[in-house]
């Protein structure tokens, strides 16, 4: 919750919402930390994808400022996509703040495409959410 509140200053999830997400039967969450300092979470990401449901939703992703620009967000996103695939998802959706071009660029690089906008989705700031979708790629196997 400390990282959640430090990253999402005005629209952080409540402890109750976060607990519900991380303990829910259809969720999948990963937490990243340095092995020497497990009490300091550097990043986390979560997916909601019922097995066999056909689609998934990236619920959240956060990377602490000190851990940014090292590929941690990309690694977590790739892990979320891989888990969605394992659960049978053919598409993965997410919302991203319209005022976060860095995250939008990452998602586009991973193959997400913009499919819509939810006006004033993020409150209390009144910032639009860009809705994005990824058609989950089929895994490829190559000879090493």
Active site residues: 95, 107
Separation of alpha carbons 4 and 44, rounded Å:
9
Angle (CA) 83-59-96 rounded to 5° is 115
User: What tokens does 33 get?
Assistant: 């930390």
CA dihedral defined by 95, 17, 32, 59, rounded to 10 degrees?
-20
User: What tokens does 71 get?
Assistant: 């590929």
DSSP assignments along 8-30, one per residue: STTTPPPHHHHHHHHH-TTEEEE
Separation of alpha carbons 106 and 85, rounded Å:
19
């Amino acid at each position: 919750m400390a990282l959640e509140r430090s990253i999402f200053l005005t629209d952080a999830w409540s402890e109750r919402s976060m607990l519900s997400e991380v303990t829910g039967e259809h969720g999948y969450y990963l937490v990243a930390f340095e092995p020497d300092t497990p009490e300091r979470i550097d990043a986390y990401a979560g997916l909601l994808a019922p097995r066999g449901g056909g689609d998934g939703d990236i619920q959240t992703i956060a990377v602490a400022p000190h851990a940014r620009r090292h590929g941690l967000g990309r690694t977590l996103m790739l892990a979320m996509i891989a888990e969605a695939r394992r659960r049978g998802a053919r598409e993965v959706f997410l919302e991203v703040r319209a005022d976060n071009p860095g995250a939008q660029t990452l998602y586009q690089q991973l193959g997400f495409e913009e499919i819509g906008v939810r006006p004033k989705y993020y409150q209390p700031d009144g910032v639009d959410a860009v809705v994005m979708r990824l058609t989950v790629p089929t895994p490829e196997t190559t000879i090493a």
